[in-house]
């Protein structure tokens, strides 16, 4: 499951408490008190931060459109080598300017740390990862046109004109992508590009005209048709070119230990040694496997773990996954209200639909309206099985109701959707816009376990198995990310780990193993969750324990979405990287399987 929002940097991510469910923000939480006098606010800092945002929108117009800045409608980034170099130079220059500011207040110093973290993350992906030259995922999110098609921010004819401008920009973007990708490419990257870019042509030709069919302006319809065909051909030619590259594709996808460590530090502020990180992940896998064994003993006595999970998976949602998810959302929201677990600011609801064909490389994601698009719907998308799979694999891909329940919790209530209801209301605008990967996915994954702990399912072993299945999926992602990129793990070995240690179905295991090659940061689900669990334990210890969960959740969400170590420093007054995670017990570590 993933968040489809360019606020969350996916390689292909504020400072105020939300006072009540009506969404009115309170004063921004202050940094930890110190004995010395604090400097006054720097008069020029807010102007610098505002100008940074405006410059970022101009350089990243697809990002701006998702946030609701529709003066950028139809524009795509400049992906020429010169354009990429200019953006890297701009980020480096802005970083130097931010570092040079002196005399900042404590709140402004926090804001600068947030800004620097975002710049460092962008620099890693654009400059240090090498992804612009080999990874189709670096481009694909910015090609997403759904904002024009499903978000009613303007009359349909106006959005149609925006889509036409977008479509006219696609051939240039496709040519730049093809020129940038240096072959031979990793096999999984090639397949990602074929599936992703190759999903656009039919979508442009079939789905888009249907969406705009009610616009009766004949001239505009003619212009749409004229724009669609070159865009469809450009995407098809890009996919066809990648198909021709398949015979010479390789397995050279690994970042390597040094770049992987740089990724963690520059994107999430985590410098925990990799051996320790791995031990932490193995301990969490062992913890969840032990819980699964206990739950299965209650749900399916004497059955194997695989048979137990198959039994849970056989209880399919009525009407399929999309209809099943729609039916689950109201109950999840009411549970939050009844248990008083977190404030719900606003009255917005999420829609649920089938994922478009160019976005089916993962089971579920949510497309969330940005902070400038007030009151606009967000959509929770669910992908159907790949029709090229066997019928058995297709059937297994559709989750059981218990598994789907925690996917719905992750994506909507109280996961991504609720988190962005909070972020979109932050008085710190930068925190509304720039939400990091570990913050967003860590929060969404954390809420799955938190909901079970709070009583969702009333102790049902079947429901617990659904939660644990999602947890094991993320544990294996965590270990595969480390293994694939630092230890020479093969894609096949990772796929086997998903099946044998995460108990995932064959189709999902194939998808997840491939994703680990082009999304090395997908360990952020478990890594973020574990950082939040440790922060909750430390913060609530002196504030009433379980009784303080709602206050903890509201304050955590108030920060927007910076790296979690920054949130820890604000909430506890300590930034020591050594306390980000609970240390695994030796017995737990030893019990976890070694790949």
pLDDT digits (tens, 9 = 90+) for 481-502: 999 999 999 999 999 999 999 9
Q: Say whether pLDDT at 7 is over 50.
A: no
595 or 443, greater pLDDT: 443
Helix (H) or strand (E) holding 87: helix 81-100
Identify the residue whose tokens are 């720039």.
Answer: 434
Please give the Cα distance from 3 to 440 (Å, whole number): 8
What are the phi and psi torsion angles at 355 (to 5°)?
-65, 140
* Average pLDDT, integer, range 541-564: 97
Give the DSSP per-residue string, 406-446.
HHHHHHTSSSHHHHHHHHTT-SSHHHHH---HHHHHHHHHH
Supply the pLDDT for residue 42.
82
**Cβ–Cβ < 8 Å for 107, 28:** yes
What are the phi and psi torsion angles at 369 (to 5°)?
-65, 140
pLDDT digits (tens, 9 = 90+) for 338-348: 999 999 998 88
Least confident range of 355-369, 468-482, 546-560: 355-369
Give the rounded percent of residues in the chain with a pLDDT score beyond 70.
90
DSSP code for 355: P
pLDDT digits (tens, 9 = 90+) for 388-402: 989 998 988 889 999
End-to-end CA distance of the chain: 24
Supply the pLDDT for residue 187.
98
DSSP code for 361: S
In terms of phi and psi (left: phi > 0; alpha: psi -120 to 50; beta: otherwise), the region of 503 is: left
Q: What is the dihedral of CA 514, 518, 520, 524, to 10 degrees?
A: -80
Q: Which of 69, 63, 45 lies closest to 7 in space, CA to CA? A: 63
pLDDT digits (tens, 9 = 90+) for 203-262: 999 999 999 999 999 999 999 999 999 999 999 999 999 999 999 999 999 999 999 999
What rounded mean pLDDT belongs to the chain? 91
Supply the pLDDT for residue 584.
82
Q: What confidence tier does 367 reach under pLDDT thresholds 50, 70, 90?
A: confident
Supply the pLDDT for residue 358.
63
Q: What confidence tier does 142 reach under pLDDT thresholds 50, 70, 90?
A: very high
Count the helices and strands in the chain (H runs, E runs). Answer: 27, 4
Q: What confidence tier does 579 reach under pLDDT thresholds 50, 70, 90?
A: confident
Supply the pLDDT for residue 571.
95
**Cβ–Cβ < 8 Å for 328, 405:** yes
Supply the pLDDT for residue 14.
28
Residue 189: CB atoms within 10 A of its CB come to 26
* Average pLDDT, integer, range 84-110: 97
The per-residue b/e assignment along 168-181, b for 16 or more CB within 10 angstroms, e otherwise, is: bbbbebbebbeebb
* Average pLDDT, integer, range 445-462: 98
Supply the pLDDT for residue 397.
86
pLDDT digits (tens, 9 = 90+) for 96-106: 999 999 999 99
Q: What confidence tier does 361 reach under pLDDT thresholds 50, 70, 90?
A: low
Supply the pLDDT for residue 396.
84
Please give the Cα distance from 134 to 494 (Å, whole number): 21
Please give the Cα distance from 448 to 589 (Å, whole number): 23
pLDDT digits (tens, 9 = 90+) for 250-293: 999 999 999 999 999 999 999 999 999 999 999 999 999 999 99
Rg (CA), the chain: 23
150 or 114, greater pLDDT: 114
Q: Which of 19, 23, 17 lies closest to 371 in space, CA to CA? A: 23
CA 169 to chain centre: 26
- Computed from CA positions of residues 566, 571, 576, 577, in that sequence, does the dihedral angle turn out positive or negative? negative
Helix segments in 454-490, DSSP class H: 461-486
Q: Residue 505 has which token pair?
A: 């179905």
Supply the pLDDT for residue 577.
63
Please give the Cα distance from 303 to 318 (Å, whole number): 26
Supply the pLDDT for residue 8.
38
Please give the Cα distance from 209 to 186 (Å, whole number): 35
pLDDT digits (tens, 9 = 90+) for 9-49: 343 332 222 222 233 333 344 444 334 455 667 889 999 99
Q: Which of 390, 399, 389, 378 lies closest to 322 in space, CA to CA? A: 399
């Amino acid at each position: 499951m993933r968040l489809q929002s360019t606020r969350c940097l996916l390689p292909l991510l504020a400072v105020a408490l939300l006072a009540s469910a009506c969404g009115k923000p309170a004063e921004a939480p202050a940094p930890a008190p110190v004995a010395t006098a604090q400097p006054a606010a720097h008069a020029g800092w807010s102007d610098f931060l505002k100008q940074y945002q405006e410059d970022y929108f101009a350089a990243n117009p697809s990002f701006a459109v998702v946030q609701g800045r529709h003066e950028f409608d139809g524009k795509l980034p400049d992906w020429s080598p010169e354009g990429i170099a200019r953006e890297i130079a701009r980020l480096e220059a802005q970083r130097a300017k931010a570092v040079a500011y002196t005399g900042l207040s404590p709140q402004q110093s926090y804001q600068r740390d947030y800004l620097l973290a975002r710049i460092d993350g962008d620099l890693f992906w654009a400059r240090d990862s090498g992804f612009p030259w080999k990874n189709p995922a670096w481009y694909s999110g910015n090609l997403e046109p759904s904002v024009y098609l499903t978000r009613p921010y303007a009359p349909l004819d106006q959005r149609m004109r925006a889509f036409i401008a977008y479509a006219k920009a696609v051939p240039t973007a496709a040519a730049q992508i093809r020129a940038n990708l240096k072959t031979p490419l990793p096999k999984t990257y090639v397949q990602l590009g074929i599936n992703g870019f190759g999903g656009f042509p039919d979508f442009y030709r079939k789905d888009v005209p249907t969406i705009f069919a009610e616009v009766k302006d004949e001239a505009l319809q003619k212009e749409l048709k004229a724009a669609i065909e070159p865009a469809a051909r450009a995407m098809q030619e890009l996919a066809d070119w990648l198909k021709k590259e398949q015979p010479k594709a390789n397995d050279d996808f690994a970042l390597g230990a040094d770049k992987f460590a740089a990724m963690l530090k520059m994107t999430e502020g985590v410098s925990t040694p990799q051996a320790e990180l791995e031990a932490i992940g193995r301990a969490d896998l062992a913890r969840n496997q032990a819980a699964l064994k206990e739950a299965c003993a209650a749900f399916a006595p004497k059955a194997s773990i695989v048979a137990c999970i198959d039994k849970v998976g056989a209880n399919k949602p009525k009407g399929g996954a999309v209809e099943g998810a729609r039916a689950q959302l109201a109950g999840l929201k009411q549970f939050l209200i009844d248990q008083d677990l977190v404030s719900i600011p606003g009255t917005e609801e999420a829609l649920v639909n089938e994922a478009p064909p160019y976005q089916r490389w993962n089971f579920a994601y949510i497309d969330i309206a940005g902070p400038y698009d007030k009151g606009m719907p967000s959509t929770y998308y669910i992908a159907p099985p790949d029709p090229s799979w066997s019928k058995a694999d297709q059937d297994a891909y559709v989750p059981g109701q218990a598994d789907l329940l925690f996917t719905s919790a992750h994506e909507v209530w109280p996961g991504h959707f609720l988190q962005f209801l909070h972020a979109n209301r932050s008085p710190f605008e930068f925190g509304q816009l720039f939400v990091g990967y570990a913050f967003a996915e860590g929060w969404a994954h954390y809420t799955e376990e938190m909901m079970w702990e709070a009583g969702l399912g009333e102790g049902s072993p079947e429901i617990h198995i659904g939660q644990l299945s999602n947890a094991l999926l993320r544990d294996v992602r965590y270990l595969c990310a480390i293994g694939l990129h630092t230890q020479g793990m093969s894609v096949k070995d990772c796929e086997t780990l998903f099946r044998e240690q995460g108990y995932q179905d064959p189709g999902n295991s194939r998808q997840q193993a491939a994703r680990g090659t082009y999304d090395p940061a997908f360990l952020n689900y478990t890594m973020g969750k574990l950082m939040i669990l440790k922060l909750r334990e430390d913060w609530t210890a002196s504030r009433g324990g379980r009784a303080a969960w709602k206050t903890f959740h509201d304050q955590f969400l108030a920060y927007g979405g910076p790296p979690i170590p920054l949130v820890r420093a604000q909430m506890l007054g300590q930034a020591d990287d050594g306390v980000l995670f609970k240390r695994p017990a030796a017995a737990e570590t030893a019990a976890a399987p070694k790949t």
